[in-house]
A and B are shown apart, each in its own frame.
Chain A
């Protein structure tokens, strides 16, 4: 018997079966890590009705329900555990994913993970001196990274220099298959701007 990617305890399985019985037939759960490999990583379990699976999601069938794993999240779900703890309020599902924030930057890693690794290990520590932070929104066609600046960088008068000379040059040097950078930040908001 396979053991699935995430170890879902029997108590958690029983609880999920009960929950899903109330939903429409064929409803399962989807497990994914939002912003994997970054300090903001969050492991999520969501209802997944028939047809709501994402392209590339990988199924695993338990007795009574199906778990759909986000393919990209699988390395970050290594050693993850889902449990159910009863308490006076009824109980709650607990998720432990010790590797969700650990960067996975092997040669086969998706470009998003390699960009995030450079952002969080090199670029953000430097921007932090000005109270700034930059995060990856998405990678669009032709490997162009769309970035979002926050903190002291949002609305900063020097953001173009930061973007061109700091962020873009570092990212293009570290991630060779990256072709360009776009800034999706609304810089009209200057509340926290450094300059």
Chain B
């Protein structure tokens, strides 16, 4: 008995074994760090005149991991008791994190994070599309499976309404590749009006 205890203590503190332990810890750190920082989140535009930096937040079921690293922020997605917590921390500051909650339901919620205004925002199921020919609006609606649309040529764009399950950010990226579309923009939800 007395001979075994010193052997054990030698095994854990022996400097000869320390480099292997450290190597293991470092290896684990790099694996974890690599897992959480490489994937780049897609950005999307709100307005041609504004430099909004909207980063598309993946839906919880689509998120391949729970932490995303942006240039200035770290974003975490966590499901908790039928709710989903979205948390953004600004790097290099000790500010409180920006937290946004959503109820975890079958109804799709399309979220973006505005890095300028530092807040999470929901996208509406409408997008603004600048066309080079507004007579093609009907065929555009049909071919893109949009629900409906209305052209406002005097304003220089059309507004398309999308089915709830279609992600507006993905839709704008896809529709911009079409010949008749010059550009497309998402629309964020306005906070509900509070009666005075």
State the A residues within 8 Å of B (CB).
Answer: 2-5, 51, 53-56, 58-61, 66, 69, 74
Contact = CB atoms under 8 A, between A and B. Distances in A.
Nearest to B153: A2
Interface residues of B, number: 15
A61 B157 CA distance: 12
Contacts of A51: 190-191
Contacts of A59: 47, 155
A4 B190 contact: no
Contacts of B21: none
A4 B154 contact: yes
B152 A66 contact: no
Interface of B: 47-49, 124, 126, 152-156, 159, 189-191, 193
Contacts of B155: 2, 4-5, 58-60, 69
A55 B190 contact: yes
Nearest to A57: B190
Given A55-B124, A66-B49, A60 B156 contact: yes
Contacts of A3: 154
30 contacts: A2-B153, A2-B154, A2-B155, A2-B156, A3-B154, A4-B154, A4-B155, A5-B152, A5-B154, A5-B155, A51-B190, A51-B191, A53-B190, A54-B190, A55-B124, A55-B189, A55-B190, A56-B126, A58-B152, A58-B155, A58-B159, A59-B47, A59-B155, A60-B155, A60-B156, A61-B48, A61-B49, A66-B49, A69-B155, A74-B152
Given A2-B155, A5-B155, A60-B156, 20 more contacts: A2-B154, A2-B156, A3-B154, A4-B154, A4-B155, A5-B152, A5-B154, A51-B190, A53-B190, A54-B190, A54-B193, A55-B189, A55-B190, A56-B126, A58-B159, A59-B47, A59-B155, A60-B155, A66-B49, A74-B152
A17 to B, nearest CB: 15
Contacts of A58: 152, 155, 159
**Lowest 8 CB-CB distances: which A-B pairs, in order?**
A2-B156, A55-B190, A61-B49, A60-B155, A5-B154, A3-B154, A58-B155, A2-B154
Which of B189, B190, B193 has the most A CB atoms < 10 Å from its CB? B190
Which of B47, B153, B156, B193 has the most A CB atoms < 10 Å from its CB? B156
A170 B48 CA distance: 47
A53 B49 CA distance: 16
B31 to A, nearest CB: 43
A84 to B, nearest CB: 21
Contacts of A61: 48-49
Nearest to A26: B50
A56 B191 CA distance: 12
Which of A3, A5, A58, A59 has the most B CB atoms < 10 Å from its CB? A59
Contacts of A55: 124, 189-190
Nearest to B130: A2
A54 B156 CA distance: 20
Contacts of B191: 51
Contacts of A66: 49
A104 to B, nearest CB: 14
A3 B152 CA distance: 11
Contacts of A5: 152, 154-155
A34 B152 CA distance: 21
Contacts of A54: 190, 193
Nearest to A77: B154
